[in-house]
Amino acid sequence: MRGSVSSSLIEGWDNPNVFQICTLNQTISDVKKRQEIGRGLRLCVDQTGQRIFDEDVNVLTVVANDSYKNYVESLQNEYVADGETEAPPKPSSSRKSTAFRRDPIFLGADFREFWEKLEQKADYIIKLDTATVIKECVQKLSSHRFPEPKIVISKGEFIMASYRISLERISGKVAYLRIVSKASDGSETVRSIPVEVGTKLDKACKDDALRDFKVMVVTNDPEPRVVFESDSELSQYNEIPLDVQISRKPVVSTVEFKSNAASVFDFISRAAAETELTRRTLVDIFLRLPSATQEQTLKNPEGFTNKFIEVVKDVVGRTVAESIEYRILPDQNVDLDELFPVTKSYPQRELIPAGENGLYDQMQVDSDVERNFINRNLVEQSDVIFYFKFPPKFKINLPKIINNYNPDWGIVRQPHETVQNFEIVVETKGGLDIAKLRFASEGWKIRCAVRFFAELGIAYRHVDGNTFTWAVFDGERNLERTTESRPGE
């Protein structure tokens, strides 16, 4: 038994439930950093081995040294450079404020009445015309351009740079800083710049290595000093050292790659698992493709398979979203105190004041779009009775190819000069064009949600954070009231 345990410790074992990583050594290799962080970025599992999708549970905290900090910052830029419209949130302190529930709203009749509708469960029916799906997939794949097989070679280099930031003097509200940087390649830079409250050193010096240095305080009381957003403090008696790893832009080249027919794998089984179509349907799609398209499986098996699955999923997902129908099931009460506890802690999440009509005194936001929507349309609005953000555990049941949907905001308003409450569910996105959302599945979920909430009798809209007005909802409300009042109907 001892030998067996010792062998396990030497070889290691896979543990998906990693929630904290503490870096004790200085890691230089980016590959090693990716591997280490990747251990904590997988979805955790419960005692039965099932994956947990709750965002409040899947939080990774990294107690990082400067090397990791700079690496994560550069990783944000990689997402943008690779075409992502938004990068993941920047690393932040895990010490966040706690949000407190407002019981007068939570226990009130308006909230309970709204939730009685929201907690209803619904089953869905999908009417999928297989012949139509096959025809559309064949049309799209026949004209699709598949990637050529290539080997991409990227050559780059890293240099270490040592920074020293010192305070020369303060005159009024302006501080004069001296920034000296020395790189391992022998280059040296000396800068003298004036700064004031709000100045970001990375912008002033055009140097991303100084990204964490935003000036928050410039004072002569009791002595000259400058305080940055990171809580680091600069005075005439101490300087701030900073050692960073800087990556030079890599040189990328490509080499032609000739595939071997023996490398073709069973892509039909893989496509069946990801699209939920039968193997027979997928084979039928493939056999109807032009011979030139079919030959792509031999030239670039992996590239062909990825595009094949992408196109088929797009057709199936859109078809499902356009044809899905819901039917309400018998009431299934949920534990409201579990969904909306008295206090909620948000590690590494941004909280903003919710105003007097928020279900919690602070509201968690994931983007500027959500922040703008709250501040412009919800906070301190006299006709908004209350609003809340749906907890991650609240899901609308959708087919696996789309995945279940967690909406953004539940709102109850009483427009001026009316006595009737208006119940609304809102989804906030960066744009109003569903076709231009970052992921196609986001648009599919919105289309399904329109049908789901219509079945519940609740207004639903997809909006952005800038151009939204209540007029569209009020117009819908007035139309419904007019329809209800027609005689003989």
* Average pLDDT estimate for 458-484: 64
Phi-psi region of 321 (alpha: psi -120 to 50; beta: other; left: phi over 0): alpha
The answer on 143 and 184 residing in a single domain is no
- pLDDT for 10 beyond 50: no
Q: Say how far apart CA 450 and CA 358 lie, in whole Å.
A: 24
Domain extent at residue 167: 157-248
Q: Is 475 exposed, middle or buried (0-12, 13-18, 19+ CB in 10 A)?
A: exposed
On whether residue 194 sits in a domain, the answer given is yes
On whether residue 88 sits in a domain, the answer given is no
- Choice among 7-16, 249-258, 280-289, 447-456 with the minimum mean pLDDT: 7-16
The pLDDT of residue 226? 92
- pLDDT for 139 beyond 90: yes
Q: Model confidence at 29, in pLDDT bands (50, 70, 90)?
A: low
The answer on 479 and 359 residing in a single domain is yes
Torsion angle in degrees (nearest 10) through CA of 194, 196, 200, 202: 10
Q: Model confidence at 176, in pLDDT bands (50, 70, 90)?
A: very high
The answer on 452 and 343 residing in a single domain is yes
Q: Model confidence at 4, in pLDDT bands (50, 70, 90)?
A: very low
- pLDDT for 183 beyond 90: no
Mean pLDDT of all residues belonging to the chain: 80
The pLDDT of residue 351? 84
The answer on 405 and 295 residing in a single domain is no
Q: Say how far apart CA 246 and CA 241 lie, in whole Å.
A: 16
* Average pLDDT estimate for 354-382: 88
* Average pLDDT estimate for 287-306: 88
* Average pLDDT estimate for 28-51: 70
The pLDDT of residue 482? 36
The pLDDT of residue 40? 74
To the nearest whole percent, how much of the chain has pLDDT over 90?
A: 28
Domain final residue, candidates 297, 323, 349: 323
On whether residue 353 sits in a domain, the answer given is yes
CB 47 within 8 A of CB 33: no
On whether residue 15 sits in a domain, the answer given is yes
* Average pLDDT estimate for 434-463: 86
**342: nearest Cα among 98, 97, 114:** 98
On whether residue 441 sits in a domain, the answer given is yes
The pLDDT of residue 95? 53
- pLDDT for 486 beyond 90: no
Q: Model confidence at 126, in pLDDT bands (50, 70, 90)?
A: confident
- Choice among 143-157, 253-267, 391-405 with the minimum mean pLDDT: 253-267
* Average pLDDT estimate for 325-344: 84
pLDDT tens profile 413-424:
988 777 788 899
The answer on 309 and 206 residing in a single domain is no
The answer on 43 and 10 residing in a single domain is yes
Q: Model confidence at 70, in pLDDT bands (50, 70, 90)?
A: low
Q: Say how far apart CA 135 and CA 143 lie, in whole Å.
A: 13
Q: Say how far apart CA 65 and CA 170 lie, in whole Å.
A: 31
More confident residue, 11 or 315: 315
More confident residue, 49 or 371: 371
Pairing of strands 459-463, 215-219: unpaired
Q: Report which residue type is found at 50.
A: Q
**DSSP-assigned letter for residue 209:** G
The pLDDT of residue 8? 45
The answer on 116 and 52 residing in a single domain is no
The pLDDT of residue 275? 86
* Average pLDDT estimate for 304-319: 91
The answer on 310 and 174 residing in a single domain is no
Q: Model confidence at 281, in pLDDT bands (50, 70, 90)?
A: very high
**What φ, ψ does residue 121 adopt, rounded to 5°?**
-95, 155
On whether residue 136 sits in a domain, the answer given is yes
CB 150 within 8 A of CB 317: no
Pairing of strands 459-463, 422-428: parallel
The answer on 432 and 374 residing in a single domain is yes
- Choice among 41-50, 177-186, 253-262, 336-345 with the minimum mean pLDDT: 253-262
* Average pLDDT estimate for 178-184: 91
The answer on 58 and 111 residing in a single domain is no
The domain tally of the chain equals: 4
The answer on 217 and 228 residing in a single domain is yes
Q: How far is CA 255 from the centre of its chain?
A: 35
**114: nearest Cα among 376, 388, 325:** 388
* Average pLDDT estimate for 340-346: 89
Q: Model confidence at 1, in pLDDT bands (50, 70, 90)?
A: very low
Q: Say how far apart CA 30 and CA 22 lie, in whole Å.
A: 17
Query: CB count, 10 Å around CB of 118?
Result: 16
- pLDDT for 96 beyond 90: no
More confident residue, 407 or 479: 407
* Average pLDDT estimate for 194-216: 89
DSSP string, 79-90: HHHTT-SSPPPP
- pLDDT for 432 beyond 80: no
Task: Calculate ∠ Cα 467-473-478, nearest 5°.
Answer: 140
On whether residue 253 sits in a domain, the answer given is no
**393: nearest Cα among 334, 323, 320, 333:** 334
The pLDDT of residue 244? 82
**208: nearest Cα among 52, 389, 78:** 78
The pLDDT of residue 13? 60
Q: Model confidence at 25, in pLDDT bands (50, 70, 90)?
A: low
The answer on 134 and 119 residing in a single domain is no
The pLDDT of residue 153? 74
Lookup result for tokens 């469960």: 121
On whether residue 473 sits in a domain, the answer given is yes
More confident residue, 19 or 374: 374
- pLDDT for 198 beyond 70: yes
The pair of three-digit structure tokens given for residue 210, joined into one six-digit string? 């100084």
